[in-house]
Structure 1
Amino acid sequence: MKLHQLQALIASAETGSIRAAARSLDISQAAVTKALRELETAQQLPLFVRTPSGLNFTEYGKVLLTHAKLVLKQLEHAQAELDQLRGKAQGRLCVGVTPWIALTFLPQVVLDFRQRMPDIQLELFESLMAVAQPLLRDGSMDFAIGQLHPAQATPEFACETLLDYQTSVLVRQGHPRQNAQSIHELLDQNWTLNYAPDGRDALMQELFGKHSAHIDSNRIVRAHSLAILQMMVERADMCTWGPTIMSTAPPFLGRIVALKLSEAFEPRQLSIVTRRNGSLSNAALCFTDCLLQVIRRHARSAKREDRELFETLRLLV
């Protein structure tokens, strides 16, 4: 496999057609077609099929596409590190950030990082793990700051744990069941939850099963963003479950309430999540160092708002 063939494969997938791929690569359609044909011939496998609406990738093509993206991402890392050695710290860094970190520590982390590496193009994703996992898998995201449930900790991901945090059932201020004392009092309510595709069963067990509570699955709306989850909680009176800190972090302070239920939930761990056996660029290492420094400063702070933050957090590094 040659680099230009992998570039043609990725461009075809991202644009949806050979014509658009040729435009994005600034080469002829014939050159893209030839590169893709050479790939199929070398592998002796069908990688895609042409349809009236564009290209559809076969399972073989999807597997090769994932690895092709990883190859190009590692080459970007190599170029960025060579540029840094030459005194030109350029490149791009893509980071997924779990929402409660975005609402608390992230602004100062970004300011510190920009000061240390002003020439790095920084791209941030709201990193609910359902969003982050496929991006980590294909190399589009360098790393994620989030929580990977043990059931999802497959050999393809590695975690460096930073802290653990308490979790609670959350409802809007003034919800009819705001004074509920047990999860069993909430089983007739509608819920909105976020989970990765392979994390649903573990979450259902943690939230309901281990407490001998059974809920109709039709009562659960899966939310793929914090904004949707927030609207379902505040406007549709749904219950949710997540970090207790969400009830005290802006913009939720005074709007979201953490219920004091008799059932206890296991603390979750916040980690740096990466592809196993992948190497982080110098820019990524700098960003994680900035994150650790900011968290440690807040942990040592005597300010009331910082003390309240760390009532539900425990620093592990």
Structure 2
Amino acid sequence: MKISQLETLVAVVAHGGIRAAARELSVSQAAVTKSMRALEEEAGIPLLVRQSRGVTLTPAGARLLERAQVITRQTALAIEELRQTSGADVGTLNIGVTPFLTFAGLGPAFSWFRQRYKHVEVNIIEGLMSRVLPRLHNGTLDIAAVAADVGEVQGSEFHIQRIFQTRQSIVVRAGHPILKDPTARSLADCEWVLTQPIGRGRQPRLEAMFGLAGVGLPSRVTVCEALSAMALLRSTDAVSVVPAPLLGHVDSSGIVAIQDGIFHPCDIELLILTRSDVPLTPAAAYFAHCLSNVSLSQTGVNATDGAAASTKIR
């Protein structure tokens, strides 16, 4: 197999068809078709199903695509690293960030990064771990900044930089009637808005909190993205859990914490994850440095309060 063939496969899938891939690669449609046929001959098995509205992958094609994404990205990174090491301001950086960091430091970190790298292309996706970790795994992300329960991320695949650990707060909108006399039972009767996906019908964070309080789980739970959660909290009588440093931030205006002592949400930690087997380019390493330092200053957490150290997850 040739790297150019794998690059063509990635382009065909990413852009939804041979015609669009040809435009992206600045080659003819015939050249793309020839490359894909040669790749299938080399593989000895069909990889694409050609349809009137584009192409889809066979199961074998889907498996090869995962490898192709890693190989083509690493080839590009090798070239970028050589050029950046020699002082060139070029390259592409793919970052995944938790909504927590989006609210509490992404903008200043990006501004700081741009003071050194003005022309490196930066692509940012926002999402929880369930969205960004698979992309870090398959090589389409270079860095993932995530918020996780303490000890939640395990394994040896990723290298971790622990930025800080912080507590969480139970929150509602300002003026919520429950603020007059909050109890575990009255909170259980409210609707809860969570940004964590619920797996197999279980709600582990709620189970832990309500179990310790000795009351049953709430019957109404809505799962959504972070911005949607904030909108629902401001406009309804829903209850949620957010990192304590976000309270008082402009993006959480109108949201207030319920008094401590009723529930004890688990602490979370902000982590910067990279692949253990892939060195960062100078630009990627500098972006991680900006994220780490700015997030500490924006949230008001001292480095000594967390575990701001670089370790490998075992």
Bin for the TM-score computed over the shorter chain = 0.7 to 0.9
C-alpha distance 10-182 of structure 1, shift in aligned 2 (>3 A) = farther
> Are positions 1:252 and 2:252 aligned together?
yes
State the AA in 2 paired with 1:174.
G
State the AA in 1 paired with 2:60.
Y
The residue aligned with 2:206 is 207
SS at match of 2:139: coil
The residue aligned with 1:301 is none
Would you say how many aligned residue pairs link Structure 1 and Structure 2?
302
Alpha-carbon distance between aligned partners in 1 of 2:222 and 2:52, rounded to the nearest angstrom: 34
Q: Decide whether the 8 Å contact of 1:180 with 1:186 is kept in 2.
A: no
State the AA in 2 paired with 1:223.
C
Q: Decide whether the 8 Å contact of 2:100 with 2:147 is kept in 1.
A: no
The residue aligned with 2:26 is 26
Alpha-carbon distance between aligned partners in 2 of 1:184 and 1:45, rounded to the nearest angstrom: 60
State the AA in 2 paired with 1:172.
R
Q: Decide whether the 8 Å contact of 1:183 with 1:208 is kept in 2.
A: no
The residue aligned with 2:311 is none
C-alpha distance 251-147 of structure 1, shift in aligned 2 (>3 A) = closer
Q: Decide whether the 8 Å contact of 1:151 with 1:202 is kept in 2.
A: no
Cα distance per residue 1:200-231 (max 9 Å; x no partner):
469822222453254466x222213x221222
Kindly indicate whether structure 1 or structure 2 has the higher relative contact order, using CA contacts under 8 Å at least 6 residues apart: 2
Alpha-carbon distance between aligned partners in 2 of 1:40 and 1:281, rounded to the nearest angstrom: 33
The residue aligned with 2:63 is 63
The residue aligned with 1:314 is 305
Matches within 5 A, 1:1-317: 1-149=1-149, 150-179=151-180, 181-195=182-196, 200=199, 204-209=203-208, 211-212=210-211, 213-215=215-217, 219-224=220-225, 226-253=226-253, 255-260=254-259, 261-295=261-295, 298=297, 309-310=300-301, 314-317=305-308
Task: Using the TM superposition, give the Cα deviation of residue 21 of structure 1 relative to its aligned residue in structure 2, in angstroms.
Answer: 1.7
C-alpha distance 135-180 of structure 1, shift in aligned 2 (>3 A) = farther
Alpha-carbon distance between aligned partners in 1 of 2:89 and 2:252, rounded to the nearest angstrom: 38
SS at match of 1:141: coil
Q: What are the ranges of 5 or more consecutive residues in structure 1 without an aligned counterpart?
A: 299-305
Alpha-carbon distance between aligned partners in 1 of 2:201 and 2:158, rounded to the nearest angstrom: 17
Q: Name the TM-score, length of structure 1 as normaliser.
A: 0.83
Alpha-carbon distance between aligned partners in 1 of 2:93 and 2:201, rounded to the nearest angstrom: 31
Cα distance per residue 1:272-292 (max 9 Å; x no partner):
022342222111111222233
C-alpha distance 23-173 of structure 1, shift in aligned 2 (>3 A) = same
C-alpha distance 243-3 of structure 1, shift in aligned 2 (>3 A) = same
Task: Using the TM superposition, give the Cα deviation of residue 183 of structure 1 relative to its aligned residue in structure 2, in angstroms.
Answer: 4.3
Task: Using the TM superposition, give the Cα deviation of residue 87 of structure 1 relative to its aligned residue in structure 2, in angstroms.
Answer: 2.5
C-alpha distance 115-138 of structure 1, shift in aligned 2 (>3 A) = same
Q: Decide whether the 8 Å contact of 2:164 with 2:301 is kept in 1.
A: no
SS at match of 2:178: coil
State the AA in 2 paired with 1:207.
L
**4+ residue segments displaced more than 6 Å:** none
Q: Name the TM-score, length of structure 2 as normaliser.
A: 0.84
Q: What are the ranges of 5 or more consecutive residues in structure 2 without an aligned counterpart?
A: 309-314
